[in-house]
Chain A
Amino acid sequence: MEPPENKIVKTLMRSIERAPDEHTQIPVILHYSVSQRVMRYTEYMPGVRFGRRYRLGPFSQLDATPEAIRILAANPDVVRIYQDMPVHVFVDYSVPHIRVPYVWQQHLYGDGVRIAIVDTGIDQSHPDFQGRILNTHDITGETVQDGCGHGTHCAGIAAGSGAASKGKYRGVAPRASLLIAKVLRNDGSGMMSDVMEGVEWAVDQGAQVISLSLGEACSSDGNDPLSELCEAAIQRGVVIVSAAGNEGPMSYSIGSPAAAPSIITVGASSDLDRIAEFSSRGPTADGRVKPDITFPGVDIISARAQGTSMGTPVNAYYTSASGTSMATPHAAGLCALMLQASPTLKPSEIKERLMSSARDLSFAPNAQGKGLVDAWAAVGPLVGNPTPSPMPEPELPEPPGEAVPGMGCIPGLIKYLLK
């Protein structure tokens, strides 16, 4: 029989050791054998506050004191005890989830394609962008250094190399070139005219894809100066992706520039393929269906600008954040891969290809657009639809900074329950 101390995973053991006293309640997930005895046992056990039992597997959630955890570990019906922890979706989950690695197998990494991130600037010292920032432009007067973290996070999703994580948190187009326009101040706000200048600058710089994880909060019909300027840029052959906004689940919550007809408007989905509640819903003020498509946008871990605290920092180089802002640069990166595969594609062709290859998530069109993007379905035909090598099933990640042997703590539990 396994020694009791081996049933307690390392992360939980550390929490027990660091508990300020023996009365501290630590949230845990209990994995027990098929026997129900342990269930009844824990409900009345001193030092245990029973939480819930899961129907799909032999697990329960409870809060327990360090002593109670040790007693539980000694129970022969207990298989393992995990610490209950917040779960994040890493770029290394969201990117495989939309089948980008199949595209990488075709040696498409965005090489030479220019993506403009029009946002809060960038941390130019971040290892994930070294040697790929072609030019920067600051409109705010604050310098292009990202004092917010939003722009750096978005740039990491679109084109981060993952250098600071040994490739783990690699963006969608990890070899694309970056143009950075800082149009939002470090508090994340700016004016429509600032964004317009940023878009014009990006066009002048030869951007092929422009990523706009920003906008106004109220409903638009697409007849406003920013939307029209984006339309003009698209007419010149530049692909523009725009966040739908975070005003959901109310309908008519798509603002400018997301309401522009030719722009690719991006909603956000969760790792369970549900539309994020915050994701703005259509129709536009003039009754058109928006968003156009959905990308992952909940709890995405990507590059963190030095010294910033946006989202939930994971370590010095990465942070977790949510929003249609996070979904949008996934789209920008994928557009770059498509342009590398077929440089003559027009913006309208890219949009059509993305939408027609999306996977229907069975939500209303004004919530999901055409559904969740499928990168391989969008790019595969451009490269002759080769049969890709089997892609490992995307692993749900370990909690930040934690390495747990065995089934891998909470992500493993989730996988078990989902199966």
Chain B
Amino acid sequence: MTKIAADLRQALRTNPDDSYDLIIRVEGDLAERTADLRAAGIDVKRQFKLTNSLQIRCSGAEALRLTRAGWLVRVDSNKPVRAFGR
């Protein structure tokens, strides 16, 4: 499985200074990853222990750097959802 979808990678490359709302899946202890990311200046919004994932906000350049980390399993955009009633 690829770590990042091609269209997201392209967006990060095209706009490296923009801020992105992302969900990353990681290996290892979630608390340690959170501490490491915060130390690196990345805003960690939420932890999801069911899938060992984090919601983060960072620049496109920072996100691309993250994809090189061995403990990073995958990066996805945080997408909008809505109610299905009317």
Contacts and interface: CB of A to CB of B under 8 A. Distances in A.
Interface of A: 119-120, 148, 150, 153-154, 184, 188-197, 199-200, 203, 213-217, 223-226, 228-229, 232-233, 236, 243, 245-246, 256, 310-311, 321-326, 328
A315 B49 CA distance: 43
A193 B83 contact: no
A311 B85 contact: yes
A322 B50 contact: no
20 contacts: A148-B83, A150-B83, A150-B85, A191-B80, A193-B55, A196-B23, A196-B53, A200-B50, A216-B82, A225-B51, A226-B81, A228-B25, A229-B53, A233-B50, A245-B84, A256-B79, A322-B85, A324-B84, A325-B84, A326-B85
Interface residues of B, number: 22
A229 B51 contact: yes
Contacts of B79: 191-192, 216, 224, 256
A225 B23 contact: yes
Nearest to B24: A225
B48 interface: yes
A150 B79 CA distance: 20
B1 interface: yes
Nearest to A217: B82
Contact of A200 (B25, B48, B78): B48
A63 to B, nearest CB: 28
A233 B53 CA distance: 14
Given A192-B79, A195-B81, A228 B86 contact: no
Nearest to B1: A223
A264 B55 CA distance: 26
Contacts of B62: none
Interface string B64-86: 00000000000010111111111
A213 B83 contact: yes
A347 to B, nearest CB: 14
A241 B81 CA distance: 16
B18 to A, nearest CB: 17
A215 B51 contact: no
B76 A213 contact: no
Contacts of B84: 213-215, 243, 245-246, 323-325, 328
B83 A191 contact: no
Given A193-B23, A322-B85, 14 more contacts: A119-B83, A184-B82, A189-B83, A190-B80, A192-B80, A192-B81, A193-B21, A225-B23, A225-B48, A225-B51, A233-B50, A310-B86, A323-B83, A328-B84
Interface in B40-55: 45-46, 48-51, 53, 55
Contacts of A200: 48-50
Contacts of B21: 191, 193
B86 A197 contact: no
Nearest to A326: B85
Nearest to A235: B50
A190 B85 contact: no
Nearest to B48: A196
A224 B1 CA distance: 12
Contacts of A191: 21, 78-81
A154 B85 CA distance: 9
A246 B48 contact: no
